[in-house]
Amino acid sequence: MQGVSRWAVWSSACAPLVLVGGWVVAAMLQPPGYDPRTQTISSLAAYGSADRWLMTAAIFVTGVCHIVTALGLRAAAASGRVVLAVGGVASILVALFPEPDSGASLRHTAATSVGIAALAAWPVLAADRAPRAPWALRPALSVVVSVLMLAAAVWFLVALLRHADIGLAERVLTTGQTLWPLVVVVSCLGRAARDPAGPS
């Protein structure tokens, strides 16, 4: 396939399924009172949460998926692929450094911040200026996507500061960031289908 490895197709598809499925199931396992609108995804993997291993595993696997996708997404610019992989590593660190029972964890906060920043920046850094580039890698759209992800990150930050709808903002942000690699891969497959003679 032109510009994307087969295993990157699977990894990009698995990432949103694993992350969203993880937080949906993990939320169902929490005691009464857990509110996904106001409580974060990380709280599902925090020390003291019910069945925390489930959300921890989901975050870890999502990070691995991002790294695998970065390795196989040859159509994207190298700088974007590197930053996508950085986002994957940051996700793994988020899983390895869970939130404590109370208070904050500097390592968890740092890993989360790096991950959000990397996954917001990679679309514009991955842009391909070639005339026949896959549509999801075209510069104008890549800029729009990165700006939208940055806006969602700002919303999440404001929600944190105001202690309102934190979970909703985080879920919108992470869903968008986890889905975009799949969108890029699908656009590469579409380009390959229209131009089967291209390089594999």
Give ∠ CA 90-95-97 in degrees, rounded to 5: 90
Model confidence at 169: pLDDT above 80: yes
pLDDT value for 193: 66
Per-residue burial over 82-120, b = 16 or more CB atoms within 10 Å of its CB, e = otherwise:
bbbbbbbbbbbbbbebbbeeeeebeebeebbebbbbbbb
Q: What is the mean pLDDT of the chain?
A: 93
Both structure tokens of 160: 């944190």
Range of 177's domain?
A: 6-191
The pLDDT confidence band at residue 3, using thresholds 50, 70 and 90, is confident
Q: Which amino acid is at 132?
A: R
Residue at token pair 């921890």:
56
SS3 of residue 48 by DSSP = coil
SS3 of residue 43 by DSSP = helix
Query: What is d(CA 187, CA 141) in angstroms, rounded to the nearest whole number?
Result: 12
Query: What is d(CA 54, CA 60) in angstroms, rounded to the nearest whole number?
Result: 10
Model confidence at 110: pLDDT above 80: yes
pLDDT value for 164: 87
Residue 184 lies in a domain: yes
Do 57 and 23 form a contact (C-beta atoms < 8 A)? no
* Residue that wins the pLDDT comparison between 190 and 168: 168
Query: What is d(CA 72, CA 37) in angstroms, rounded to the nearest whole number?
Result: 35
Query: How far, in Å, are 82, 94, 98, 165 from residue 158 at the CA level?
Result: 28, 21, 22, 10
Model confidence at 24: pLDDT above 70: yes
Residue at token pair 């969108």:
183
Rounded mean pLDDT, 28-33: 92
Rounded mean pLDDT, 51-70: 97
Residue 197 lies in a domain: no
Rounded mean pLDDT, 93-113: 91
Rounded mean pLDDT, 118-140: 95
Residue 145 lies in a domain: yes
Residue 36 lies in a domain: yes
Residue 58 lies in a domain: yes
pLDDT value for 132: 87
Most confident of 73-77, 128-132, 159-163: 73-77
Model confidence at 104: pLDDT above 90: no
pLDDT value for 200: 37
pLDDT value for 199: 41
Do 18 and 58 form a contact (C-beta atoms < 8 A)? yes
Rounded mean pLDDT, 100-116: 91
H helical segments located in 29-105: 52-72, 78-96
Model confidence at 122: pLDDT above 90: yes
Q: What's the domain count of the chain? A: 1
Residue 93 lies in a domain: yes
Whole-model pTM?
A: 0.92
Residue 27 lies in a domain: yes
Do 137 and 75 form a contact (C-beta atoms < 8 A)? yes
